[in-house]
Amino acid sequence: MRRTALLASAALLAGLLPWAATARAAGEPAPVPVDRFEGEVPFAAQPAEGIFTWGGDADDPPTLRLADRADAPEGGKVLTGGYDISGYGGFTHDYAATAPAHDWSAHQGIRFWWEGRNNGKKITFEIKDGGAHGEASELWTASFTDDFTGWKQIQLPFTDFAYRTDHQPVGGIDHVLGLKEMWGYAVTLPAGLKGDFAMDGVELYGRADQALRASVTTDAPVVPVREGGTARVKVTVATTGEQPLTEPVTVTYATADGTAASGTDYTPVSGTLTFPAGTASGTVRTVAVPTRRDKAAEPAETVPLRLTVTGAKAPAETPQVVIDAHGLPYLNAALPVRKRVADLLGRMSLAEKAGQMTQAERGAVGQGADIAGYALGSLLSGGGSTPTPNTPEAWAKMIDAFQLRAQATRFQIPLIYGVDAVHGHNNLSGATVMPHNIGIGATRDPRLARRTGAVTAAEVRATGVPWDFAPCLCVSRDERWGRSYESFGEDPALVDSMETVIQGLQGRADGRDLRRPDKVLATAKHFVADGGTAYGSSTTGTYTIDQGVTTVTREQLEDLHLAPYRTAVERGVGTVMPSYSSLDIAGDGKGAVKMHARGDMINGVLKGRMGFDGFVISDWNAVDQLPGDFAARVRASVGAGVDMMMVPYTYKEFSTTLADEVRAGRISERRIDDAVSRILTEKFRLGLFEHPYADTSGAARIGSPEHRAVARQAAAASQVLLKNSGGLLPLRKSQKVYVAGSNAADIGNQTGGWTLTWQGASGNTVPGTTILEGLRKAGGDITYSKDASAPTAGHDVGVVVVGETPYAEGVGDVGNGHDLKLSAADRAAVDRVCAAMKCAVLIVSGRPQLVGDRLDAIDALVASWLPGTEGDGVADVLYGRRPFTGQLPVTWPKSEAQLPINVGDAAYDPQFPYGWGLTTLTQVPKGGTATLHDLAARAAAAERRGDERTGRALVTKARLLVQQKADGHVTQAVAAPFADADHLLLTGRYGKAVQKLAQAYRAA
């Protein structure tokens, strides 16, 4: 259809549709079609030009088709489709990557016809600027609201598009909407609503004006100044492509009414800044706002500076000069924290207190205006929620910008920003990624656990983040749980011993080190008994065990699940996070109750009996899992003792509902004051009032050789040698080694979930060293074939690295698309290599894998867990640079039917027992029953003396004797006392431990 016909059609439709925009100004270029949806653009994806769908999971991409419509606004067809999106979903039109990008710079904006459903939902429209192609471009977004019925032409001026801050495919390019190299557009459809849509006639319209090419900005939206000082607001004019202005730009400014009093608190100013035609891009003018000093102590006061811009795009918001709070007792760092807290609390309004109890996601607050608007107390980055680019500098800059917003509040209470740094600063690209907790538990080395925590804290704090949602103190009792790798192990005594990580994160238990630039506030999670949920009890989506129900007696709860929290409180942990799971205590008459509503446990046990004096932070949107309407859920969780609510995207609703419930008398002011006091206490202890902004002095050490050396040692110490027939390991550099398997050269699989993103991902995701690279760097003669298809002849030994791909939380539950078996490709690789030569099999996984059917064919078997970014550590033990010393932190089952199986069970017949771990480079002591009798007597004596070092050494000798005699053939009679011995060792009963090992020795 010719363009004249198109225009005629549009003109005719204009008489029928009241919203049609048909007028064109004189000299305005004709619209340029992008999509007519008549079939000229196929349904196809890169590198071809085409329209394609996408979504967060398999159900999220919408359905699309071209439909004949008599009422089509343009032509005879429209694009239509249906959607039912739980996460995110939409569709894209990309230009062909093999052809040049398009130039949209001559136009004012982009428009299209949309058939409204009047559902009140926001539709996001995204354009793609610069880069190599549509999927490697820079994303700019605008939106409209579907609050109409029938066809309407939506016009989106390019001046309305904002740089997308939550995601950029290639980390952002130049942050400038150039419009000269455009690759297409994308539409994001609303989530949580089943519906359909129709769209037609996407086109470029209008003539570009200078307001598109030129913009006026200020150096910051908030400009703090000490009372009596002069605030200087920098006003900058900039152009696309850094070209000089073609037309003049004027900026008229004037101070306006804020909370500061004109003439008393500041001297009012007004005037005009002129940027003549020809002014260079980046030119800065300064507006000075003098403030006045008086003798009164005061909270912060604001002075808005109104800017009226002609000839360019105005700033997105009015900058505010803030006269800093001064003279108030809570600002006096010399006062005790409790006095500072009491003074500040007594000055705060109910709305300000509610804000302190509210935590939002960084992606939800945009540029952060709501931080002051709702007096927010905290922000977080969820898994994968990162700045662009994902660098230490960008993290610090982002968090400092958020902290600056908090300076516009009355009392300038700083934010506390939190992240899930659960095995290093795992959201940050280039950070040192440690083994996951299950591997740390395998090291049996509390000092090393502390060092890993210290490295994590240093890297986290150097990016401006003072709070870490770690460590997980769950006692994992069923390896089918998708979070089992977040646990140090199945024995509370083992978990207890690894809690030195809290000191690594926080420093000394009294909190005096929290002000240091290399320490962070730690979080003990998930209170309580999240590791004890029963298989099949989850009611969350397709999860099978995560967020399910833990059914225990009171004694089991105390001994298994509460014990680690007693230790955490003694170690001074600053925050505690309740579990999503439900707790059903036999005989208490409550039934299964979500932990976020169990006041008997949070208020009663944690805060009351244990004396926890930090604050309780909810899990992500956990309030929404409680019964009743939103107000009832808020009452239940706050009443149970939750002090701060993680409500990533519903922070407005939570803070206003909380305040309303207090006003109505359904939540007591005393409870609110307790919660806010706890939160403020930790902020004061962290030194945030004196130093709210990032101290990046330690940023150069992020991912440094020094830090990676700690991770390398942890990776080596976490390796558990389960079988070693004929002393195959360690390898010799003279041997020709054939390496195969899916996890030998995949650092994404090696680091697991919670790495850059929530679920993690396979592939080359983060800087580091794969196991294959580590083997090559160790000097071995290596042949690599992932699927073992390369010829095997001529090699001395095979190393097959197999296991799991990444997952996190309930997504990784067995039965939710996962099992405990090796993949078909991994099984084939093991079979090919082990049939051709002596072989060592390494299992890289978050939990035991079932390999009993192949165990006889495997000469050496290693549980490598998820060793992190330092594959050199794995190579260190394989080549004998370090000895194998790791021990199983969980029981290794023979079959899934045995699960759950744990140390201390009445029926205990595993493949390998808890605590099992062969060693290398260490001479096994000689002797038998008599030797064990002597070791038991000496160990009991060491126990009486409180000599831990000697006691542990004697138990280790006895353990080596048992393992040597069992020679990899572990019977039930051997396994049970062997596992019991490791538990006894961890509880300091060295004599009893050796007696149990003697029992295992006799049965071997």
Question: Looking at the predicted structure, is the pLDDT value of residue 23 above 60?
Answer: no
Question: CA 646 to CA 622: how far, in whole Å?
Answer: 8
Catalytic residue among 129, 479, 490, 619, which? 619
From the centroid of its chain, how far is CA 289?
41
Q: What is the pLDDT of residue 19?
A: 38
Residue 900: what pLDDT?
98
Task: Report the distance separating Cα 556 and Cα 547, nearest Å.
Answer: 19
Residue 270 near residue 254, CB atoms below 8 Å: yes
Top-confidence residue, 613 or 169:
613
The answer to whether residue 5 scores a pLDDT higher than 70 is no
Residue 196 β-bridge partners: 82
User: Among 625, 602, 417, 452, which Cα is nearest to 526's?
Assistant: 602
Among 490, 496, 809, 982, the active-site one is: 809
Block residue for tokens 């206490």? 681
Average pLDDT of the segment spanning 99-123: 95
Report the pLDDT value the prediction gives residue 6, as an integer from 0 to 100: 32
Rounded CA-CA distance 591/558 in Å is 18
- Answer yes or no: are the C-beta atoms of 873 and 711 closer than 8 Å: yes
List Cβ<8 Å contacts ≥24 apart for 316-319.
316/162, 316/367, 317/221, 317/367, 317/369, 318/256, 319/218, 319/220, 319/221, 319/222, 319/223, 319/233
- φ, ψ for residue 583 (rounded to 5)? -120, 130
Q: Is the pLDDT of residue 285 over 90?
A: yes
507 phi-psi bin (left φ>0, alpha ψ -120 to 50, beta other): left
Q: How far apart are CA 814 and CA 827, in angstroms?
A: 19
CA–CA dist 912, 892 (Å, integer): 5
Looking at residue 10, what is its pLDDT?
35
Amino acid code (one letter) for 892:
W
* Spatial contact of 86 and 56, defined as CB atoms under 8 Å apart: yes
pLDDT mean across residues, the chain: 95
Identify any residues that bridge with 798 across adjacent strands, giving them in sequence order. 738, 839
The total number of residues written for the chain in this structure:
1004
> Rounded to an integer, what distance in angstroms lies between the CA atom of residue 146 and that of residue 152?
10
Kindly state the helix (H) or strand (E) to which residue 342 belongs, with its residue range. helix 337-347
- Rg for the chain (alpha carbons), in Å? 32
Q: What is the helix (H) or strand (E) element at residue 876, kind and residue range?
A: helix 871-878
pTM, 2 dp? 0.87
Q: What distance in Å separates the CA atoms of residue 518 and residue 441, rounded to the nearest whole number?
A: 24
| pLDDT digits 0-9 by tens, 683-698 | 999 999 999 999 999 9
pLDDT tens sequence across 328-361: 999 999 999 999 999 999 999 999 999 999 999 9
71 is a catalytic site residue: no
Going by C-beta distance under 8 Å and a sequence separation of 6 or more, which residues neighbour residue 169? 131, 135, 136, 137, 139
So what's the pLDDT on residue 22?
47
The pLDDT of 868-897, averaged and rounded, is 98
823-840 pLDDT per residue, tens = 999 999 999 999 999 999
On the question of pLDDT at 62 being above 60, the answer is yes
User: What is the sign of the dihedral through the CA atoms of 419, 420, 425 and 430?
Assistant: negative
DSSP 8-state symbol, 80: E
938-960 as b/e, with b when 16 or more CB fall inside 10 Å? bbbebbeeebeeebbebbbbbbb
Query: So what's the pLDDT on residue 702?
Result: 98
The 10s digit of each residue's pLDDT in 398-425 is: 999 999 999 999 999 999 999 999 999 9
pLDDT of residue 616: 98
> Residue 288 burial by CB count (10 A; 0-12/13-18/19+): exposed, middle or buried?
exposed
Instruction: Name the residue with tokens 């052809």.
Output: 99
CA–CA separation, 522 vs 469, rounded Å? 6
- The end-to-end CA distance of the chain, in Å, is 87
Mind listing the pLDDT tens digit for each residue in 174-207?
Answer: 777 889 899 999 999 999 889 999 999 999 999 8
Model confidence at 925, pLDDT cuts 50, 70, 90, reads: confident
Q: Which helix (H) or strand (E) holds 975?
A: helix 972-986
Q: Which residues make Cβ contacts (< 8 Å) with residue 10, sequence separation at least 6?
A: 20, 22, 73, 74, 201
Distances (CA, A) of 124 to 153, 156, 161, 182, 191: 15, 11, 10, 18, 11
Residue 24 — pLDDT band, cuts 50, 70, 90? Answer: low
Whether residue 730 is preceded by a cis peptide bond, meaning omega within 30 degrees of 0, is yes
- Give residue 50's pLDDT: 97
Could you give the CA distance from residue 787 to residue 639 in angstroms, rounded to a whole number? 56
Q: What is the pLDDT of residue 77?
A: 97
Q: Is 719 exposed, middle or buried (0-12, 13-18, 19+ CB in 10 A)?
A: buried
% of the chain at pLDDT higher than 70: 97
pLDDT at 9 over 70: no
- The pLDDT of 54-78, averaged and rounded, is 94
Contact between 142 and 154 under an 8 Å Cβ cutoff? The reply is no
Amino acid at the residue 295? K
pLDDT of res. 18 = 35
The mean pLDDT of 357-368, rounded to a whole number, is 95
| Residue 726 pLDDT greater than 70, yes or no | yes
**Cis previous bond, 528, omega within 30:** yes
| CB distance 124 to 188 below 8 Å | yes
Cross-strand partners of 622? none
* φ and ψ at residue 835, rounded to 5 degrees: -80, -20
b/e string for 841-879 if b means 16 or more Cβ within 10 A? Answer: bbbbbbbbbbbeeebeebbbbbbbbbbbbbbbbbbbbbb
The angle, 0 to 180 degrees and rounded to 10, between the axes of the packed helices 669-685 and 337-347 is 130
Backbone φ and ψ of 976, nearest 5°? -60, -55
At 681, list the tokens. Answer: 């206490």
Nearest to 869 by CA among 471, 437, 384, 431: 431
Write out pLDDT tens, residues 135-145.
Answer: 999 999 999 99
Q: Is 864 helix (H, G, I), strand (E, B) or coil?
A: strand
Burial of residue 931, with CB atoms counted within 10 A of its CB: 0-12 exposed, 13-18 middle, 19 or more buried:
middle
Q: What digits encode the pLDDT tens for the residues 574-623?
A: 999 999 999 999 999 999 999 999 999 999 999 999 999 999 999 999 99
**What is the model's pLDDT at position 537?**
98
Q: pLDDT tens across 452-485, in order?
A: 999 999 999 999 999 999 999 999 999 999 999 9
User: What value does the mean pLDDT take over residues 953-975?
Assistant: 94
> Is pLDDT of 27 > 70?
no
The Cα 37–Cα 557 span in angstroms is 62
Contact 388, 171 (CB under 8 A): yes
Sequence-ordered list of residues with C-beta below 8 angstroms from that of 912, at least 6 positions apart, any chain: 722, 888, 891, 892, 970, 975
Structure tokens at 77: 């067809």
Rounded Cα gap, residues 54 and 855, in angstroms: 43
- Cα–Cα dist 675/115, whole Å: 48
Residue-wise DSSP of 373-420? HTT--EEEE-TT---SS-SHHHHHHHHHHHHHHHTTSTT-PPPEEEE-
Confidence of residue 996 (pLDDT cuts 50, 70, 90): very high
Residue 924, pLDDT score: 86
Q: For the chain, what percent of residues have pLDDT higher than 90?
A: 90
Active site residue 619: yes
Give residues with Cβ within 8 angstroms of 77, minimum separation 6: 37, 38, 39, 66, 67, 68, 69, 200
At residue 21, the pLDDT reads: 43
